[in-house]
Amino acid sequence: MAPLTFLPSLLLSLLLSLSHFPTPSLSDNGSIGINYGRVADNLPQPSKVVQLLKTQGMNRVKLYDTDSTVLTALSGSDIRVTVALPNEQLSSAAAAQSYTDSWVQSNIAAFYPSTQIEAIAVGNEVFADPKNTTVYLVPAMQNVYNSLVKYNLSSIKVSSPIALSALQASYPSSAGSFKSDLIEPVIKPMLSFLQKTGSPLMANVYPFFAYTGNTDVISLDYALFNANQSEAQVDSGNGLRYNSLFEAQIDAVFAAMDALQYNGVKLEVTETGWPSKGDENEAGASGANAAAYNGNLVRRVLTGGGTPLRPNEPLNVFLFALFNEDQKTGPTSERNYGLFYPDEEKVYDIPLTVEGLSNSSSESTPVNGGSKTQVPTPAAGSGGDVSAAATAGQTWCVANGKAGVEQLQKGLDYACGEGGADCRPIQKDATCYDPNTVEAHASYAFNSYYQKKSRGAGTCDFGGAAYVVTQPPSTYFLHLPRPPINMALASSPRDIETPR
């Protein structure tokens, strides 16, 4: 890439406005699609929905069935479509290819290629299905694929969305692993199928759930893509730095696949989102935070680059969801993930395309906890309207135990000596002397130095012996054991997503 001084001024200003995200590249841009769920009794007709999608510049949509009215409306629209074979059909699909032959003929071949069906999601979060349909999953996927081959439709990918609850470990990301009871019966056979057919693993990824379940150790900034470089989280297992919980969750899935030697399988995020309204116990559910999460996510995806573990693999993501769905059961958040109200008015305004990113303005748009009131839309460079709580974060500096005692001691000596940190509390018989370990003392000294330097960039490094955290050091390494972070706390926000 040419030095910045030679870039056109317009491009330079755009890059500067996106400086806290990876530098974009035309070759590695990802894609944004959207989930079109219909668990509601007040949604516009499918033909109007297609026009809405086109108006918003959306060219990928994911359905939860193969409704003929919807597929017909999408015909000739140039919108690529992912359809679904619902969980309740898995046992029949697994039992006989004659069933999937008929299903493919009626639901795929009858509409393709006028309707650009690009993938079939066989089931949805099957491992979390209370009806225990796991045993049918891979045979059903294989039969669907065989039927596609039979009717010369093998270009259509076959996969199945998993919830992060399929992971046994998800923190740190490098420790990602699948639940042991799923590995032999279904994970390995599924990944082998995906590898052979060139299909991606589909995953539903929700930082919102991880945040609401771990507000004591996960900052809102980190969950909303608002953490700056000095607040990046360092994976203690591989040293990679994470600027967002979303990327950390994805890399936990990649690590789980790598552990089983399936590192060639790609990943597509088939659901992710943030609710604009929630119950009192649903921390972070608000219109402002939903706009921040989804807006920053879109910017992150469309400006290119992969995750720290897979930097060269573009992120392909489906937002959840197009509409608020009034017939969904459960907490208030379940009915408030939509970008639009059923009357097609925006719940909040975020750019959804590359062009939209460059044209973001300060016009007023409806967003305030999901109610129709007016607030300013953020300028380009932020994802959406951001709550005050998301911008008031504090950070601390702690020791990286993986650096080794020698490196920690070297950093400790510098901080307490030339660095001018206040190390009196960690002297013998002083208040913070115990626990008497190099790591604990180094954490205290590093943080003292970091705060003294006003938390400036580069002041929490010490040759790789330290990193920035967003919770008080006592939560991490000093006096208290750190609570484990569960990044895979819950499944996605839905009942089994089937139109009623």
Known active-site residue 88: no
Q: Which amino acid is at 382?
A: S
Distance from C-alpha of 250 to C-alpha of 217, rounded to nearest angstrom: 19
Q: Which of 125, 247, 325, 497 is catalytic?
A: 125
Q: Which residues, in sequence order, are CB contacts of 199 under 8 Å at separation 6+?
A: 119, 157, 158, 159, 193
Residue 440 CB neighbours (<10 A): 22
Burial of 123 (0-12, 13-18, 19+ CB in 10 A): buried
- Please check whether residue 108 is in contact with residue 83, taking contact to mean a CB–CB distance below 8 angstroms: yes
Mutual orientation of helices 137-150 and 188-197 as an angle, nearest 10°? 20
Distance from C-alpha of 42 to C-alpha of 60, rounded to nearest angstrom: 23
Q: Which of 137, 189, 185, 193 is nearest to 161 (CA)?
A: 137
Q: Which of 320, 117, 350, 339 is nearest to 204 (CA)?
A: 320
Query: What is 417-453 written as a DSSP string?
Result: TTT----GGGSTTSTT--S--HHHHHHHHHHHHHHHT
Distance from C-alpha of 295 to C-alpha of 383, rounded to nearest angstrom: 4
Beta bridge partners of 86: none
Mutual orientation of helices 97-104 and 137-150 as an angle, nearest 10°? 60
Q: Which of 231, 247, 271, 282 is catalytic?
A: 271
Distance from C-alpha of 173 to C-alpha of 236, rounded to nearest angstrom: 9
3-state secondary structure 12-41: HHHHHHCCCCCCCCHHHCCEEEEECCCCCC
Distances (CA, A) of 147 to 63, 85, 106, 113: 20, 13, 12, 16
Tell me the torsion sign for CA atoms 466, 468, 470, 472.
Answer: positive
Distances (CA, A) of 395 to 227, 229, 454: 10, 11, 10
Instruction: Compute, in degrees rounded to 10, the torsion defined by CA atoms 284, 335, 245, 490.
Output: 110
Known active-site residue 363: no
- Please check whether residue 467 is in contact with residue 477, taking contact to mean a CB–CB distance below 8 angstroms: no
Give Cα 365 distance to the centre of its chain.
25
* Catalytic center residues: 125, 271
